[in-house]
C-alpha cells in the first residue's frame, strides 16, 4: 500500500536517482532499465507525492504572474480575491503569485508586462489577454516555448495555450434569455446593449441569447442590438438614442460594464423602474440598481472562482505536470437579484 520511488527502485534493483530519471524524463537511462521501471510504476499504479515533490524542489522558486488588462474594478477585485485565495493554499508549496495590473486595455502596455514577466523568469502566466494580433502572437510564441499560460476571464481562440478559465459566454447568453422570459412572463420588446464584439466572448453571448429566443421564446422580440465602447458618455448617448427610437422597448439586456452612462439615459427618459433590466456582472452602479429595484437582475460569472481556478490549473501543471482535462474550464454563470447582495 502506498507506492514510493524507493519501492520502485528496490523492485527494479536500481537507485532512486534512476527511477527519477525515467519517470521524470531527466537524462539518459539504458532503454531496458527504463522500460522495466516504467512497467513496475504502471503495475503498482504509482503516483508521485506532490507534497514531497514540492518540498524537495523548494530551492528553485516557482513564480506565477497574473497579468490583468486594466486597473482594478469590482470584477477584477473579485478575480484577484480568488487568485489570492488560491495563492494562500499553495504558498507552502514554494509557489509565489504576483498580480500585475494593466492600463486601460492598452495592448502596448500589456505586451510590455508580458515580456517583462518572461524576462524576469516567471514560470507560468495567467493573463486577461487583449484581443490584439501582437499579443496573440506573443502568447503563441511563449506557449510554444513551453511556458504554461492560462487565458483568464477573456476568451481568445489560441490553441497553444494551457487553458482558458472564464465565463461560459454561450450559457450566459441563454441564461439571460431564459430569465428575461420568466421576468416578462414570456412577452417582451428587447433592446440589447453589448460591449464591442471585438472581444469574442461578447459575440458568443449575444448569439446564444438570440438563438435561445428563436428556439424557445417566441414572445420575446429583439428590437435593437447595440455595440458600445467602454465609455460612459458614449453609453449615455447611444442608449438614449436607442430608447427614443424604439419607445416600445420594455426590456433591456445591458450586457456591458459601461453601466452608469446607460443607466443615466434610462433615468433621464423617466423609464427607470419601468423597464425590466437584466445586466451582467456586479459593478457598483449595478449593485445600486439592484438595491433600489431599478435593475431587475444581473448575470454574474463568479469572478472569485475564475481567479481561483486559474491558479489551480497552473499549480497542477507546474507541480504535477498535469494538463487540464479540457482546455476550457468554464465557470458557471449565476443569476443575482436584489436579495443576493443584501
Partner DNA sequence: CTGAAAGCGCTTACAG
Using a 10 angstrom Cβ sphere, with 0-12 exposed, 13-18 middle and 19 or more buried, the burial of residue 281 is buried
Smallest distance from a second copy to CB 139, Å? 28
CA distance 132 to 332: 27
Q: Which residues have C-beta within 8 Å of that of residue 88, sequence separation ≥ 6?
A: none
CA distance 197 to 189: 22
Please select the residue that binds DNA; options are 10, 35, 40, 57, rule is CB under 7 A. Answer: 57
Using CB under 7 A as the binding rule, the residues of this chain from 161 to 180 that contact DNA are none
Smallest distance from a second copy to CB 73, Å? 21
For 143-212, give the DSSP string.
HHTT--EEEESS----TTSSEEEEE-HHHHHHHHHHHHHHHTTT-EEEEEEE--TTSHHHHHHHHHHHHH
* Residue 323 binding a second copy, by CB under 8 A: no
Smallest distance from a second copy to CB 174, Å? 5
Of 222 and 235, which CB lies nearer to a second copy in the complex structure? Answer: 222
Q: At what angle do helices 232-245 and 259-268 cross, to 10 degrees?
A: 40
Please identify, among the stretches 17-25, 119-127, 181-189, 194-202, the one whose residues bind DNA according to the rule CB under 7 A: 17-25
Site string for DNA, 248-287 (x = CB under 7 A): ----------------------------------------
Site string for a second copy, 174-193 (x = CB under 8 A): xx-xxx--xx-x--------
CA distance 334 to 8: 48
From first CA to last CA, the distance across the chain in angstroms is: 51
* Residue 91 binding DNA, by CB under 7 A: no
Smallest distance from DNA to CB 29, Å? 3
HSE value, Cβ hemisphere, 13 Å, CA-based, for 165 = 26
* Residue 51 binding a second copy, by CB under 8 A: yes
Using CB under 8 A as the binding rule, the residues of this chain from 182 to 241 that contact a second copy are 182-183, 185, 212
Of 23 and 269, which CB lies nearer to DNA in the complex structure? Answer: 23
Q: Is 331 helix (H, G, I), strand (E, B) or coil?
A: strand
Of 24 and 71, which CB lies nearer to DNA in the complex structure? Answer: 24
- Tell me how crowded residue 133 is: count the other CB atoms within 10 A of its CB: 8
The two counts, helices (H) then strands (E), for the chain are 13, 12
Using CB under 8 A as the binding rule, the residues of this chain from 108 to 137 that contact a second copy are none
Task: State the number of binding residues for DNA (CB under 7 A).
Answer: 31
Please identify, among the stretches 12-20, 104-112, 245-253, 329-337, the one whose residues bind DNA according to the rule CB under 7 A: 12-20
* Secondary structure percentages of the chain, helix, strand, coil, to 5: 50, 20, 35
Smallest distance from DNA to CB 93, Å? 11
Using CB under 8 A as the binding rule, the residues of this chain from 270 to 299 that contact a second copy are 296-297
| DSSP 8-state assignment for residue 340 | G
* Residue 6 binding DNA, by CB under 7 A: yes
Task: State the number of binding residues for a second copy (CB under 8 A).
Answer: 30
For 25-62, give the DSSP string.
T-S---HHHHHHHHHHHHHTT----HHHHHHHT-SS-E
* Residue 145 binding a second copy, by CB under 8 A: no
CB 272 within 8 A of CB 295: no
* Residue 48 binding DNA, by CB under 7 A: yes
Which CA distances in Å does 146 have to 39, 149, 159, 257? 28, 9, 13, 34
Residues that bind DNA (CB under 7 A): 2, 4-6, 13-18, 20-21, 23-24, 26-30, 33-34, 48-49, 52-53, 55-60
User: Which positions touch a second copy (CB under 8 A)?
Assistant: 49-52, 54-55, 92-94, 171, 174-175, 177-179, 182-183, 185, 212, 296-297, 332, 334-340, 342
Amino acid at each position: 500500500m502506498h507506492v514510493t520511488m524507493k519501492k520502485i527502485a528496490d523492485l527494479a534493483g536500481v537507485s532512486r536517482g534512476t527511477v527519477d530519471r525515467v519517470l521524470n524524463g531527466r537524462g539518459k537511462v539504458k532503454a531496458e532499465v527504463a522500460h522495466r521501471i516504467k512497467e513496475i510504476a504502471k503495475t503498482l499504479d504509482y503516483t508521485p507525492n506532490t507534497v514531497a515533490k514540492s518540498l524537495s524542489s523548494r530551492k528553485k522558486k516557482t513564480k506565477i504572474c497574473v497579468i490583468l488588462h486594466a486597473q482594478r474594478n469590482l470584477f477584477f477585485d473579485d478575480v484577484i480575491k480568488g487568485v489570492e485565495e488560491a495563492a494562500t493554499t499553495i504558498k507552502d508549496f514554494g509557489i509565489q503569485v504576483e498580480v500585475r495590473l494593466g492600463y486601460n486595455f492598452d495592448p502596448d502596455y500589456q505586451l510590455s508586462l508580458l515580456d517583462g514577466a518572461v524576462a524576469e523568469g516567471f514560470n507560468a502566466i495567467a493573463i486577461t489577454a487583449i484581443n490584439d494580433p501582437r499579443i496573440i502572437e506573443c502568447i503563441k510564441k511563449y506557449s510554444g516555448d513551453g511556458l504554461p499560460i492560462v487565458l483568464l476571464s477573456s476568451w481568445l481562440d489560441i490553441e497553444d495555450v494551457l487553458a482558458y478559465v472564464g465565463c461560459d459566454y454561450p450559457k450566459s447568453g441563454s441564461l439571460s434569455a431564459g430569465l428575461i422570459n420568466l421576468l416578462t412572463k414570456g412577452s417582451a420588446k428587447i433592446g440589447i446593449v453589448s460591449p464591442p464584439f471585438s472581444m469574442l466572448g461578447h459575440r458568443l453571448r449575444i448569439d446564444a441569447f438570440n438563438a435561445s429566443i428563436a428556439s424557445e421564446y417566441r414572445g420575446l422580440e429583439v428590437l435593437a442590438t447595440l455595440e458600445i465602447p467602454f465609455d460612459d458618455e458614449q453609453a449615455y448617448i447611444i442608449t438614449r438614442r436607442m430608447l427614443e427610437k424604439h419607445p416600445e422597448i420594455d426590456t433591456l439586456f445591458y450586457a456591458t460594464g459601461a453601466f452608469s452612462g446607460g443607466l443615466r439615459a434610462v433615468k433621464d427618459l423617466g423609464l427607470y423602474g419601468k423597464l425590466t433590466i437584466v445586466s451582467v456582472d456586479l459593478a457598483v452602479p449595478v449593485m445600486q440598481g439592484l438595491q433600489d429595484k431599478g435593475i431587475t437582475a444581473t448575470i454574474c460569472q463568479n469572478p472569485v472562482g475564475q481567479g481561483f481556478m486559474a491558479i489551480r490549473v497552473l499549480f497542477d501543471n507546474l507541480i504535477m505536470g498535469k494538463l487540464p482535462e479540457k482546455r476550457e474550464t468554464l465557470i458557471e454563470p449565476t443569476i443575482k437579484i436584489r436579495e443576493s447582495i443584501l
